[in-house]
Amino acid sequence: MMTPRERWETTMGGSKPDRPACDYWGTAEITERLKKDLGCGSDRALWERLGVDKLVQLTPTHPRAAEQTWHLQSFFSVWHIGTRLAPYADGLGYYEEAVVHPLAGAECLADVEGFDWPDPEEWDVSGLREQSDEWRDYPQLAGGCEIFYLYCRLRGMEQALEDLIANPEIADAILSRIAVIDRALTKRILDVVGDRLLFSYVAEDLGTQESLLMSPRMFRRFLKPHISQMIELVHSYGVKVFHHDDGAMRPMLGDLIEMGIDLLNPVQWRCKGMDREGLARDFGDKIVFHGAVDNQRTLPFGSVDDVRREVRENLSIFAGGRGYVVAPCHNLQANTPTGNVVAMYDTAREGWK
């Protein structure tokens, strides 16, 4: 029997492992509930109970960070972004929502230069190898970037989108500073633990439910050069690129594949243009797909049979391509029944039937 890491490595190499690799993404609330419902005393025990080949995120620390999260470059407190907890699903869970955008008032390049930018040397990467030792049998991820995601929280979403047309000099200046910091920090991470990593997380949120967040022309003008440089850095260490991109982002996929992404997550196939058959047909020989078990309808509101059917559909649809990792299409939410989660992973373990 393969280890979780071997299962992922085989999948990324374009071959079929002993059974489909599977991953877990979930909010803190549902993770705690699942541990309670399934009698698991730790996250590791939960992965083992579900048969999850968990992609483990190694986490640097920062002396000024109030958060404990693997989204290392997006620590809100490090970038002086103010947040509040926003409830959802009648209080079943909470999301951290940015409400103070420290660069919202920047009107010129001097305002950008005068911002208290974090120093990539401030992050402590010394504990990464010890973290890695704890998860030797599991695939591991560290470093990367979410450049425009962070830009929107520094400027505010509306202002960030307006900048691409009305304030291109400010957009260039802020995006470049973020990109330089991200690359420098990721290089430090790769120098320490690159030989252990399967992936680095080079991500964006380019899609909405119905369309793109920005035009392909704007993406190529403002983001593509920075993301390409990060992908080149990651690949230079022999590490693969895990690309997360929400929503109806298919028009960008050709560019992203040309840039060198190795895997696409989360495959939100209910969004416009993201039908699974079309993605598999047009891109299945170029990248590995990760996710695609719908958590807008099927997982929270469907039956166990609905979940099992969808997992089998995904395994069949993506079977002829480079590879597929079974996972929810983004974080499992707190209103998802435990039985549906168990059914997803039980069906994955049954293999390609």
Contact criterion met (CB below 8 Å) for 56 and 50: no
Residue 99 resides in a domain: no
User: Which tokens go with 254?
Assistant: 């050709």
Q: How far apart are CA 284 and CA 277, in angstroms?
A: 9
Contact 101, 156 (CB under 8 A): yes
Q: If we measure between CA atoms, which residue out of 100, 277, 290 comes closest to residue 203?
A: 290
How far apart (Å, rounded) are the C-alpha atoms in residues 18 and 349?
9
φ/ψ of residue 85, rounded to 5: -90, 125
Per-residue pLDDT of the chain (353 residues; tens, 9 = 90+): 999 999 999 999 999 999 999 999 999 999 999 999 999 999 999 999 999 999 999 989 888 887 766 555 556 889 999 988 899 888 888 888 899 999 999 999 999 999 999 999 999 999 999 999 999 999 999 999 999 999 999 999 999 999 999 999 999 999 999 999 999 999 999 999 999 999 999 999 999 999 999 999 999 999 999 999 999 999 999 999 999 999 999 999 999 999 999 999 999 999 999 999 999 999 999 999 999 999 999 999 999 999 999 999 999 999 999 999 999 999 999 999 999 999 999 999 998 76
Is residue 307 within 8 A of residue 299, CB to CB? The reply is yes
Do residues 321 and 289 lie in contact, with contact meaning Cβ atoms separated by under 8 Å?
Answer: yes
Length of the chain: 353
Nearest to 54 by CA among 134, 172, 160, 110: 134
Asked whether residue 235 is domain-assigned, the answer is no
* Overall domain count for the chain: 1
CA proximity to 39, closest of 300, 347, 342? 342
For residue 167, give every residue at least 6 positions away whose Cβ sits within 8 Å of its Cβ, in sequence order, or none: none
CA atoms within 13 A on the CB side of 214: 23
Can you tell me the distance from the alpha carbon of 87 to that of 95, in angstroms, rounded to the nearest whole number?
Answer: 6
208 in a structural domain: no
Phi, psi of 305 (to 5 degrees): -65, -40
86 Ramachandran zone, left/alpha/beta (phi>0; psi -120 to 50): beta
Q: Is residue 236 in a domain?
A: no
Asked whether residue 309 is assigned to any structural domain, the reply reads: yes
Question: What's the number of CA atoms in the CB half-sphere (13 Å) around residue 285?
Answer: 2
d(Cα 188, Cα 119) in Å, to the nearest integer?
A: 12
Decide: helix, strand or coil at residue 240: strand
For position 169, what pLDDT does the model report? 98
Within 58-130, strands assigned E span 82-88, 93-100
Which residues constitute the domain of residue 12?
Answer: 1-55+268-353
- Classify residue 348: in a domain, yes or no: yes
Instruction: Please give the pLDDT value at position 70.
Output: 55
165 neighbors 31 (Cβ within 8 angstroms): no
CA 186 centroid distance within chain: 16
- pLDDT at position 71: 58
